[in-house]
Structure 1
Amino acid sequence: MHRIVLKGRGDFAEWREAARGLLARGVAPGEVEWLSEAGANDLFAGGFAETGLPDSGGGSTGQALFEPAPAVPASAGTVPAAFPRLAETVLCHSDPGRFALLYRLLVRLQADRRLLEVASDADVVLAARLAKAVRRDSHKMTAFVRFKEVPLPPETVGRRRFLAWFEPDHFIVARMAPFFRRRFADMDWVIVTPKGSASWDGERLAVSDLPAEKPDLEDATDDLWRTYYASIFNPARLKIGMMQKEMPKKYWKNLPEAALIPELIASAERRVIDMAARAPTEAPAFHARLRAMEAARSEEGGGPPPSGAQTLAGIRAEAAGCARCPIHCGATQTVFGEGPERAAVMFVGEQPGDEEDLAGRPFVGPAGKVLSGAMADAGLDRIGIYMTNAVKHFKYEPRGKRRIHQRPTRGEVEICRWWLTREIDLVQPKLVVALGATALFALTGDTAKLSDQRGRPLPMAGGRTLFVTVHPAYLLRIPDPARQAAERDAFAEDMRAIRQLVAESGAGQCLA
């Protein structure tokens, strides 16, 4: 029987060196007893000779209770790429059987390289379960480490120092130390645990596998954590089982905010009743104003808003209170067109984006910058061109802190067409450029493929010319660099074609 003693604190190189030696000698898994250093001392008293294995390079060296194997070439034994990744994770587990499990898999992989793909294999299932537990423990460490500032002596000058205590289930300190170095690179810190420690001083990341004792330290951030947690706790959505799954009780003793949990749970029902009894919060003033305008129009029979305005400034002011479709409810403001009162060329996009909604101006976001660049390269002067959109409010789907663009429906486009028609009537452009399928539909009612209409002048009502191309936002969404470059070239060619049409019409004010 071969007995191998390892430190067993998540060092893959340590286990690999021992496993290579055994594999090179043809030792079967059943002939090896794997032990961690903590439980090996009594064995040494039995007369076994201690022989050190070669240094693994990972900062730790195991001990083998047998004559060492000859030097093992790096190519000895082959495994699929997935095995080292799996082994690195499993070795961080605290299960004493992990060494034997991985060596058993290593030996079996020599005969069956696709073993890890067999989801029903008992060894594969066990390894996957251990790896999952390590990943979960690692995730909890990123979520529940709480740094506390360490007071510096008055005469000390330098970076602030922080200390954190965490109690992991497994040997994950070395595994997670690079994460904390990246996340908290601007401060000196130490994380101490019963299974090792890690520290960062701005230049060097150090890891130790020596166990540490819990420090006695508090700072002002404890109160901040408690205030934050109390403010985000929603008693109406309380699910105790789910909460304890995401924040297991074993972590509570080291989380300052956890002291509030019992009282928050106990008072949840009363707080829900109090919330229901309170009067609803009043809507913002602008919302009430828009609703009043909408109600007034409904009493007059609906239809488009009354408009006696005969200037762009006049209809822009009327559009500011538009509430004819639901999109206005989530938008910051109406984004009307801008440009000369009389412009020979009008560009029409789909709708304002996130930045346009905040700024109140069309084509100022990423897509607008692409368009402006392409226009400038083609010799078109944006200042002399009227820029607008088929829909005047930003339609989006909230996703976290981001607002993700949503395409307006045909019904919403048709409702907003009244404003676009008024813009065309007042600006009187000779050439109208439709940027994308939504703009094309708003201008013509045509639902044909954009590619069938793109890149050539088309007749339009009122003796105008229509030119169809893609929306610049489309170029930003193409993931393949080569295809994106080709589409940008095609867009640039469309801009040059537009410039040629402008030059032929004699509209010099639109040329750079």
Structure 2
Amino acid sequence: MRVVQLEAEDDFDGWRAAARALAAARIPAQEVLWQIGGQRADLFGDAPITIEPMTSDPAPSLRVSRDFVHLASRAILHSDPERFSLLYALLLRCLDYPQVLRDRADRQMRRVLDLDQTIRRDMHKMRAFIRFREVPEGNDRRFVAWFEPEHHIVRANAPFFVGRFANMRWSILTPRGSIHWDTVSLAEGPAAQRGDAPGDDPVEGIWKAYYAAIFNPARLMTNAMIKEMPKKYWKNMPETALIPEMIAGARKRELGMIDQARAVPGKAHGSATISLLRDEAASCRRCPLWGPATQTVFGEGPHDAQVMVVGEQPGDQEDQAGRAFVGPAGEVFDRALAAVGIDRAHLYVTNAVKHFKFEPRGKRRLHARPNAGEVDACRWWVDQERALVRPKLVIAMGATAARALTGRTITIGQVRGTAIELGDGTPCWVTVHPSYLLRLPSHTDAAAEFDRYVADLQAAFASLEAVT
């Protein structure tokens, strides 16, 4: 057994020199044991045998691609105790089979790539979540930050902070070591504890007040926020200490806003409230669909309409115009309303999803069905529309609309032509989406399917007349 001692957990240069020497001798990976500093590799053996790193290239055949060197230099920062052996085994394979670096299906390569991805993420979190606090030092100032990395990234991340805060004297303290910058040179220090870092400074009070003031409960996406900023980082940033309380009160604030809007009488006020909600939705970021879409397509119609019609999502023409049901499906919907004898101007018409989801095909944008996550993310807006309009009847056109209204998967064939009760007791009639009629196969009796669609709408409106 060959035992190699490295100076530190992130000693890539030491690992690289030793790995080259071992690989030149074609020592199998299972015969090499890697350890840090004075660790004893074998509790029952003699003193470890140390291989001295070679100072020159032992053989031209040991040349490997830069991709491997860059990959290994990051993956070695991981806290996985098997990383040195894993990288050495991969090095041996690269000597005989260089293509392994491009084989994403290879189990060993996949594992190293996972280490690399984890390190990239940890380095990003450190750069994003560092918060410096001012510490007076005589007539000068120093800024100190505390961070708890998961892996051995402190030294590797130092150049970023030197470049970003070149003219500032700072220290970053972590349980895995510390770095100090005096505007001229960078120095390393020992591991630190949380108590070694300063507490709040006066500026943080202003920052907390600002952060709390701009918090918008309508845009709260707790799961997405925790994914990007895990809870373990919250205690180290001044503003995130406010997050638990703000999350707990978010829903209460939403309901309070709605109740306050309802308490003010007058049609003009109701119309203005819908308008404010529409303005708020214009900057919605609850799901990624806002990115490629042209704009948010919100509902429209009287704020006190007795009937609300909910479709799936805007199409290409709706995305361009910013209005619901103005494309081919909208034409089918309008024809059906005319057959029933209903004026669309009396309806509040909206969609379950407010942004157009599509797949580009050359210059065309083809409709793509929203997934459950996107529907659920947009459900908040539909709920607010219903809370403000308070319709006596809701018509869901298509399975997506039914899911947005009920929160569960609905099979159209099982509920079509009957009313189901929503959570607040409002009756909801479910029918097909008018775009379904446009996609019917040529052998289908399109006229009969259209008549059935009209009959669904007729039954729904008739049920409203029976109640009123």
One-letter code aligned to 1:87: A
User: In the alignment, is residue 212 of structure 1 matched against residue 211 of structure 2?
Assistant: no
What residue number does 1:321 align with? none
Pick from 35, 57, 65: which aligns with 1:80?
Answer: 65
For 2:101 and 2:123, locate their aligned partners in 1 and report how far apart those are by CA, in whole Å: 23
User: In the alignment, is residue 53 of structure 1 matched against residue 21 of structure 2?
Assistant: no
For 2:254 and 2:78, locate their aligned partners in 1 and report how far apart those are by CA, in whole Å: 42
For 2:89 and 2:120, locate their aligned partners in 1 and report how far apart those are by CA, in whole Å: 22
| TM-score using structure 2 length | 0.52
Q: Quote how far apart the aligned CAs of 1:35 are.
A: 2.3
Q: Quote how far apart the aligned CAs of 1:70 are.
A: 8.6
CA contact (8 A) 2:146 2:173 kept: yes
Tell me the alpha carbon deviations over residues 64-86 of structure 1, each in whole angstroms, 9 at most, x when there is no partner. Answer: xxxxx795448460212210110
What residue number does 2:128 align with? 143
What residue number does 1:184 align with? 165
For 1:180 and 1:23, locate their aligned partners in 2 and report how far apart those are by CA, in whole Å: 36
Q: Quote how far apart the aligned CAs of 1:203 are.
A: 0.7
What residue number does 1:265 align with? 247
| Counterparts of residues 190-339 of structure 1 (less than 5 Å) | 190-208=171-189, 210-214=190-194, 215-218=196-199, 219-276=201-258, 277=260
CA contact (8 A) 1:36 1:96 kept: no
Query: Match of 2:137, SS?
Result: coil
Q: Quote how far apart the aligned CAs of 1:206 are.
A: 2.1
What residue number does 2:33 align with? 33
User: In the alignment, is residue 171 of structure 1 matched against residue 152 of structure 2?
Assistant: yes
Change (3 A) 1:50 1:225: farther
For 2:121 and 2:183, locate their aligned partners in 1 and report how far apart those are by CA, in whole Å: 28
Change (3 A) 1:274 1:124: same
What residue number does 2:111 align with? 126
Change (3 A) 1:226 1:15: same
CA contact (8 A) 1:225 1:257 kept: yes
Tell me the alpha carbon deviations over residues 220-248 of structure 1, each in whole angstroms, 9 at most, x when there is no partner. Answer: 23323322331332211212211111110
* Identity within the alignment, %: 45
CA contact (8 A) 2:217 2:254 kept: yes
Query: Match of 2:95, SS?
Result: helix
CA contact (8 A) 2:4 2:49 kept: no
For 1:201 and 1:70, locate their aligned partners in 2 and report how far apart those are by CA, in whole Å: 33
For 1:216 and 1:88, locate their aligned partners in 2 and report how far apart those are by CA, in whole Å: 30
Change (3 A) 1:50 1:3: closer
Q: Quote how far apart the aligned CAs of 1:7 are.
A: 3.4
Give structure 2 stretches of 5+ with no counterpart: 262-268, 276-468
Q: Quote how far apart the aligned CAs of 1:21 are.
A: 1.1
What residue number does 2:462 align with? none
Query: Match of 2:171, SS?
Result: strand
Change (3 A) 1:74 1:88: farther
CA contact (8 A) 1:29 1:104 kept: yes
CA contact (8 A) 1:20 1:76 kept: no
For 2:203 and 2:27, locate their aligned partners in 1 and report how far apart those are by CA, in whole Å: 55
Tell me the alpha carbon deviations over residues 237-272 of structure 1, each in whole angstroms, 9 at most, x when there is no partner. Answer: 212211111110111121222221111011101212
What residue number does 2:306 align with? none
For 1:94 and 1:42, locate their aligned partners in 2 and report how far apart those are by CA, in whole Å: 17
Query: Match of 2:191, SS?
Result: coil
What residue number does 1:100 align with? 85
| Counterparts of residues 457-472 of structure 1 (less than 5 Å) | none
For 1:239 and 1:213, locate their aligned partners in 2 and report how far apart those are by CA, in whole Å: 33
CA contact (8 A) 1:11 1:88 kept: no
Change (3 A) 1:2 1:175: same
Change (3 A) 1:70 1:207: closer
What residue number does 2:281 align with? none
One-letter code aligned to 1:170: H
Change (3 A) 1:225 1:45: farther
CA contact (8 A) 2:24 2:58 kept: no
One-letter code aligned to 1:125: R
CA contact (8 A) 1:21 1:70 kept: no
| Counterparts of residues 386-465 of structure 1 (less than 5 Å) | none
Tell me the alpha carbon deviations over residues 435-487 of structure 1, each in whole angstroms, 9 at most, x when there is no partner. Answer: xxxxxxxxxxxxxxxxxxxxxxxxxxxxxxxxxxxxxxxxxxxxxxxxxxxxx
Tell me the alpha carbon deviations over residues 14-37 of structure 1, each in whole angstroms, 9 at most, x when there is no partner. Answer: 110110111111101121122233
Change (3 A) 1:46 1:28: closer
| TM-score using structure 1 length | 0.48
One-letter code aligned to 1:236: A
| Counterparts of residues 461-500 of structure 1 (less than 5 Å) | none
For 2:206 and 2:37, locate their aligned partners in 1 and report how far apart those are by CA, in whole Å: 42
For 2:241 and 2:110, locate their aligned partners in 1 and report how far apart those are by CA, in whole Å: 38
One-letter code aligned to 1:30: Q
Tell me the alpha carbon deviations over residues 36-73 of structure 1, each in whole angstroms, 9 at most, x when there is no partner. Answer: 337x247488432554734xxxxxxxxxxxxxx79544
Change (3 A) 1:15 1:247: same
For 2:144 and 2:161, locate their aligned partners in 1 and report how far apart those are by CA, in whole Å: 12
For 2:41 and 2:93, locate their aligned partners in 1 and report how far apart those are by CA, in whole Å: 32
One-letter code aligned to 1:16: R
Change (3 A) 1:249 1:70: closer
One-letter code aligned to 1:35: Q
For 2:215 and 2:7, locate their aligned partners in 1 and report how far apart those are by CA, in whole Å: 43
Change (3 A) 1:241 1:49: closer
One-letter code aligned to 1:164: A
For 1:237 and 1:74, locate their aligned partners in 2 and report how far apart those are by CA, in whole Å: 60
Tell me the alpha carbon deviations over residues 331-354 of structure 1, each in whole angstroms, 9 at most, x when there is no partner. Answer: xxxxxxxxxxxxxxxxxxxxxxxx
Root-mean-square deviation (CA), in Å?
A: 2.9
Give structure 1 stretches of 5+ with no counterpart: 55-68, 284-512
User: In the alignment, is residue 117 of structure 1 matched against residue 99 of structure 2?
Assistant: no
Aligned residues: 266
For 1:225 and 1:45, locate their aligned partners in 2 and report how far apart those are by CA, in whole Å: 57
CA contact (8 A) 1:44 1:50 kept: no
